[in-house]
Chains A and B, each alone.
Chain A
Amino acid sequence: MHRYILKRIAMLLLVMLGVSLLIFFIMDLAPGDQALMILGEAATEEELNALREELGLFDPFFVRYGRYMWGFLQGDLGYSHKYLSDVLPLYLERLGATVVLALASALFAHILSIPMGIYAALHQGKVSDNIVSALAIVGLAAPNFWVGLLLIILFSLKLGMFHSGGFVTLSDVVLPAITVGTANMALLTRTTRSGMIDVLRSDYLMLARAKGVSEKMVVRKHALKNALIPIITVSGIQFSAMMGGAVTTEAVFSFPGIGTLLVGAIKSKDTVCVTGCLILTSLLVSVTLLAVDILYAYVDPRIKAQYSK
């Protein structure tokens, strides 16, 4: 088990190195002049060249990349010219909002979709099963920003229950969380349903039933726990995906998450900010996925046994 985790961490570092190189390269290919973005449209060629010299933009790609990574490894993530701040504090501040949104949307999605999935599994093939599946798909199929705008109109303007945007109090996260959660619900519901169906048909539950355990207890005590594994996988993937922010939802709600931060930085060719934030994001994504894998091992002894081999 430990060897497995160590191997995974080594891989993770390798992947992050790859991410940094990839992003740095893409940002380098993208048209746009960093010096011009800093100095503004009235800048003259001499001023621009002086700044380019100062920023080291004339150096070859690998020299710039090497210099950046050297700083990164020493904990210096550089300075964002777009947001006029060091990248690390900027990232951490936005991360707070993003994590809150990720948690809240996960909460919303799980509260609805797990009961719905169980219900559908227990009523498999009936009309109610189809209705649940249909509902879940609708959530997946509706474009995020559209759902967001409709929610603002209903809950903010008509009912006056929530703020229309920003992130000042914790309640501001409710509408964005519903928006993101709606999209994530479909897969969760579906996973719960199929997981439950698999388990409900398994031999050991047949045995439990044969022994006279009530159907309620079968579902609660035995089935759900065993159906958890695929649900954890899906939750883990969805949660880790949220670490990169929810770009469109953030845009609709003026929510200060990582998504909008990165979009702004990409558009103004703030290579330092984009690379730094994406390395940290991919670190978080990978760590979350690793945590999920480790979590499995605890939930399911079979998997643990596999790793230990």
Chain B
Amino acid sequence: MKRVISLILALIMALSLVACGEKAPVDNEGESKIKDRLVIANGNMLSILDTHNNNDLWCGHVYSLVHSALVDIDFQTNEMKPELATEWSYDAPTMTYTFKLRDDVTFHNGEKFTADDVIYTFNRGMGFSFKQTKLKYIESMEKVDDTTLKITLNSPAAEFLESLNDMWILNQKAIEADAEAGPMVGTGAYVFSMDNFKPDESVVVTRNENYWGELPKSKEIEYKKITEASARVIGLQTGEIDVCLEVPAIEASNIADYEGVELVQQPSSKLLYMAMNMGEKGPDFFKDERVRKALNYATNRDDIIIAMTEGYASPSQGCIAPSMFGHDPDVATYEYDLEKAKSLLKEAGYDENNKLRIEFIYKGGVMAGFYEILQAQWALANVDLVLVSDDSTKTVEITNSKAYHIYQTQWNWSTTCNGLDSLWNSTAGNNRTLTNNAELDAMLADVCSEMDEAKRAEKIGAIGDWLSDYAAMVPLYIDTLLTGVGSNVEGLTLNFNQNHVFTYAYVTE
């Protein structure tokens, strides 16, 4: 009898070992003292494989490992750098860019990279609302030869070149062969494979030995999802993780005091805000300017900063991140003024007997707990804030229906004009206020095509004032980025807009 039991147990054990055997870490003592694998942990991870179908920052982290674009921006110096395009020129009268492309690049599937791939990618991207904002300036594309491409614009576009930095070049054959994973076939330094992709868990990319650029030192990079923030930090402290993104503010001192790990603090361009739905399916009360302004007055940003970030943030100044080009420090802002909020709401017909009921949605994650704080603040102004969704899945559904009331989210500003256009243009995928205002659209088109820097700054300032007065957005604060990094990590570039460059990061033993 005992034998039977032990046999069964042994069998189960053996089976389960087989099942998890492949997870053993890769050991390789050869070469130098560089660890094979760099491990990055975050509360979120790659969730969508189609680079065109989102502007998601976390997805972007993996995209930028796997893909290359025509040009790159060095966000440390704000300089444009060649990537797949070695050089480019712009002819102002004909509004035409001419790109000279690299000749020595192959995709991960073995296809050679040519001008056709660029044309295919841009044409495909125009079908997606997230990329359309950047690509709408393209009038026509012409392949001169495999390594020469001419792109003619339909109007001057001040930030056209900059906006190409995350327009990763895809391969038509790869996408036709596999609609799902095809967009993850790139020309980048690391190779993506479905076998190493476990949604909601982790993704491992392996070094592309045929990479056209300098070969990175890490053989593999793992991007892991650890939802529990304190567990993520502990993982960093115990050395299981090399880079811990989105460190909760409460843990900052724990990391700073811990040996072997460092806390990187940097001011960012990440603006957290709430968007009131101004669209057709939005609630009627937001059409009343007094309500929108009242909510701006009713928001105590200083308290929110303390409660949400332990002070690791700076108050917003208008709807544009203060560090951005053209931001006007004198832009009109709403200081906390409860009485004013109350009287505006009263004028609009809401008071303690007739409270304004607003439904609130957000995607969960770092802003957990925010709802509670805001609800208490707005309750003082006779607003009844009701949580409808704090779950990313449900929120996707509600945002798609365009019938929400108020949506909390964030925007990492990279370039001003593109940011403004992405958040406010009536056709933009990230336009969460669903604003459809002809006057604003015209101003945006105007500023985006303004090639003169001084004039552009002036126009940006004017839009900033217009947006403050419009008040459909409640800007909250600018996050201070907190990143935990192991002391043995080298080559990591952390950028203010969270477009971090992991490609050349490695861990020494």
How far, in whole Å, are A93 and B196 apart by their CA atoms in the complex?
Answer: 13
Q: Verify if A32 is at the interface (C-beta below 8 Å from B).
A: yes
The residue that B397 contacts in the complex, of A32, A99, A167, A251, with Cβ under 8 A, is A32
Q: Verify if B400 is at the interface (C-beta below 8 Å from A).
A: yes
How far, in whole Å, are A42 and B9 apart by their CA atoms in the complex?
Answer: 50
Q: Are A254 and B19 in contact (CB under 8 A)?
A: no
Q: Verify if A56 is at the interface (C-beta below 8 Å from B).
A: no
CB-CB < 8 A to B477: which residues of A?
none
Q: Are B23 and A83 in contact (CB under 8 A)?
A: no
- Please, what's the 1-or-0 string for B7-18, where 1 marks a CB less than 8 Å from any CB in chain A? 001001101111
Kindly report which residue of chain A lies nearest to residue B400, judged by CB atoms: A41
Closest chain B CB from A225 CB (angstroms): 10
Kindly report which residue of chain A lies nearest to residue B391, judged by CB atoms: A267
Closest chain A CB from B380 CB (angstroms): 33
Q: Verify if A212 is at the interface (C-beta below 8 Å from B).
A: no
Given contacts A99-B16, A103-B12, are A41 and B399 in contact (CB under 8 A)? Answer: yes
Q: Verify if A230 is at the interface (C-beta below 8 Å from B).
A: no
Interface residues in A, total, Cβ within 8 A:
48
Q: Are A96 and B238 in contact (CB under 8 A)?
A: no
- Please, what's the 1-or-0 string for B102-131, where 1 marks a CB less than 8 Å from any CB in chain A? 000000000000000000000000001110
- Please, what's the 1-or-0 string for A22-57, where 1 marks a CB less than 8 Å from any CB in chain B? 000000000011001101111100000000000000
How far, in whole Å, are A95 and B16 apart by their CA atoms in the complex?
Answer: 8
Of the listed stretches B229-237, B334-342, B500-508, chain A binds B229-237
How far, in whole Å, are A9 and B128 apart by their CA atoms in the complex?
Answer: 53
Q: Are B20 and A41 in contact (CB under 8 A)?
A: no
Q: Are A92 and B1 in contact (CB under 8 A)?
A: no
Of the listed stretches B197-205, B313-321, B366-374, chain A binds B197-205
How far, in whole Å, are A299 and B180 apart by their CA atoms in the complex?
Answer: 54
Q: Verify if A153 is at the interface (C-beta below 8 Å from B).
A: yes
How far, in whole Å, are A52 and B224 apart by their CA atoms in the complex?
Answer: 32
Given contacts A36-B396, A252-B231, are A157 and B128 in contact (CB under 8 A)? Answer: no
Q: Verify if A282 is at the interface (C-beta below 8 Å from B).
A: no
Closest chain B CB from A261 CB (angstroms): 8
Q: Verify if B83 is at the interface (C-beta below 8 Å from A).
A: no
How far, in whole Å, are A207 and B18 apart by their CA atoms in the complex?
Answer: 50
Q: Are B234 and A37 in contact (CB under 8 A)?
A: no
CB-CB < 8 A to A252: which residues of B?
228, 231
Q: Verify if B54 is at the interface (C-beta below 8 Å from A).
A: yes
Closest chain A CB from B27 CB (angstroms): 12
Q: Verify if A264 is at the interface (C-beta below 8 Å from B).
A: yes
Q: Are A42 and B53 in contact (CB under 8 A)?
A: yes
Kindly report which residue of chain B lies nearest to residue A93, judged by CB atoms: B19
CB-CB < 8 A to A226: which residues of B?
none
List A residues 164-193 near B (Cβ within 8 Å).
Answer: 164-170
List A residues 236-275 near B (Cβ within 8 Å).
Answer: 251-254, 256, 260, 264, 267-269
Q: Are B396 and A37 in contact (CB under 8 A)?
A: yes
CB-CB < 8 A to B13: which residues of A?
100, 103
CB-CB < 8 A to A97: which residues of B?
16, 19-20
Closest chain B CB from A63 CB (angstroms): 24
Q: Are B234 and A153 in contact (CB under 8 A)?
A: yes
Q: Verify if A4 is at the interface (C-beta below 8 Å from B).
A: no
Q: Are A168 and B238 in contact (CB under 8 A)?
A: no
16 example contacts (A-B, Cβ-Cβ < 8 A) are as follows A32-B394, A32-B397, A40-B54, A83-B198, A83-B199, A96-B16, A97-B20, A100-B20, A157-B234, A164-B231, A165-B228, A165-B240, A267-B391, A267-B393, A295-B5, A298-B4
* Beyond A32-B393, A40-B54, 16 additional pairs, beta carbon < 8 A: A95-B19, A96-B19, A97-B16, A97-B19, A99-B12, A99-B19, A103-B12, A103-B13, A165-B231, A166-B224, A254-B224, A254-B225, A254-B226, A254-B231, A256-B198, A260-B200
